[in-house]
Amino acid sequence: MVYGDGDGKLFLGFTGAVDVIAHELTHGVTQYAVPGGLVYEDQSGALNESISDVFGSIVKQWTLKQNVEQADWLVGAGIMAPSVGKALRSMADPGNQKLTWSGDDQPKTMAGYVENGDVHTNSGIPNHAFYAAAIALKGNSWDKAGPIWYKALSLLTANATFADMAKATAQAAALLYGADSAEQHAVQAAWKVVGVE
């Protein structure tokens, strides 16, 4: 896999952030964990990008030994040239250019969804759902939220929508922790935060 060393103007070396490395590797996991992979357009494409951000963020938090409260929830911090910005995206506050860079146009909720929009843009919505679930579940993102999201991959289809992912994560939480469990309720509430039910 080639990551590139950036142009020195917008990007620095792409291996300067462990979450970016894990993000790219997760695309390979998603291709095989989701039956048929996820079609790389529309909501299924945005889910593909989000899933990579989710597991990239989990790897970053694990590497830094951070719980969900300690994490900065920034994706790609360290690969942007200092004059450009701090990170590619924020899972805690998608589209907040003060935390990221001037090109961050991600919506946080379905109210800002861009029909036929770029997969990197619309991935802010499921990114924020994962963030909300992880914060509600507390502790380490790899303990409960991560396994729920991973289990959900096998429950998706190639053209999955955000609503399908919400259903799959709720189902995964029920399979892992029990129907009507606190974990399932936390996941369902997280998707409501971003306007997906």
DSSP state of 100: S
In sequence order, what are the residues at sequence separation of 6 or more whose Cβ sits closer than 8 angstroms to the Cβ of residue 180?
174
120 assigned to active site: yes
Q: Is 65 helix (H, G, I), strand (E, B) or coil?
A: coil
185 assigned to active site: no
Ordered DSSP codes for 107-174: -SSGGG--TT--HHHHTHHHHHHHHHHHHHH-S-TTTTHHHHHHHHHTT--TT--HHHHHHHHHHHHH
Catalytic residue among 23, 49, 120, 128: 120
Catalytic residue among 24, 41, 115, 183: 24
Residue with the two structure tokens 């694990």: 62
Structure tokens at 174: 């029920």
Residues belonging to the active site: 24, 120
